[in-house]
Amino acid sequence: MLRILSRPATRLMERWLPDAFIFVIVLTLIAAAAAMLTQGTTPDQLIEYWGGGFWELLSFSMQMLLVLVTGYILASSPPVRRILARLAGLAGSAGGAIVLVTLVSLAASWINWGFGLVVGAIFAKELARQIRVDYRLLVASAYSGFLVWHGGLAGSIPLTIATPGHFTEDQIGVIPTSQTIFSAWNLGLVAALFVIMPLVNRAMLPRREEEVLVDPAILHDDRLERRRAATPAERLENSPLLMYLIGLPGLAWLAMHFIGGGAINLNVVNFLFLFAGILLHGSPRSLLDALDDAIRGGAGIVIQFPFYAGIMAIMIQSGLAASMSEWFVSISTAKTLPFWSFISAGIVNIFVPSGGGQWAVQAPVMLPAAEALGADAAKVAMGVAWGDAWTNLLQPFWALPMLGIAGLKARDIMGFCVVMLLITGVVIGGVLWMI
Report the first-to-last Cα separation within the chain, whole angstroms: 30
For position 266, what pLDDT does the model report? 66
Q: What is the pLDDT of residues 80-112, one digit of tens each?
A: 888 888 999 899 899 999 999 999 999 999 987
Between the CA of residue 106 and those of 4, 99, 116, 148, what are the distances in Å?
25, 11, 7, 7
Contact 239, 283 (CB under 8 A): yes
Per-residue confidence (pLDDT) for residue 421, from 0 to 100: 96
Low-confidence ranges of the chain (pLDDT < 70): 217, 220-230, 264-266, 297, 357
Q: Is 90 exposed, middle or buried (0-12, 13-18, 19+ CB in 10 A)?
A: exposed
Q: How far apart are CA 325 and CA 251, in angstroms?
A: 44
* Cβ(189)–Cβ(151) below 8 Å: yes
**pLDDT of the residue at 429:** 97
Which residues are CB-neighbours of 193 under 8 A, at least 6 positions away? 106, 147, 148, 424, 427, 428
Sequence-distant (≥ 6) Cβ neighbours of residue 91 within 8 angstroms: 97, 99, 100, 127, 130, 131
Note every long-range contact of 250-255, with CB atoms under 8 Å and residues 24 or more positions apart, other chains counting: 250/274, 250/275, 250/278, 251/275, 251/276, 251/279
> What are the phi and psi torsion angles at 332 (to 5°)?
-100, 160
pLDDT at 21: 82
pLDDT of residue 160: 84
Q: What is the 3-state secondary structure (H, E, C) of 417-432?
A: HHHHHHHHHHHHHHHH
Q: Distance between CA atoms of 215 and 213, rounded to whole angstroms? A: 7
Whole-number pLDDT of residue 404: 79
Global pTM value: 0.83
- CB-based contact 415:179 (threshold 8 Å): no
- Quickly count: other Cβ atoms within 10 Å of residue 13's Cβ: 19
SS3 content of the chain, % helix, strand, coil (to 5): 80, 0, 20
Number of Cβ atoms within 10 Å of the Cβ of 309: 22
Question: Could you report the per-residue pLDDT of 133-143, keeping only the tens digit for each?
Answer: 999 999 999 99
Phi-psi map region of 269: left, alpha, beta (phi>0 left; psi -120 to 50 alpha): alpha
Q: Which residues of 314-347 are buried (b: 16+ CB within 10 A; e: fewer)?
A: bbbbbebbbebbeebbeebeeebbbbbbbbbbbe
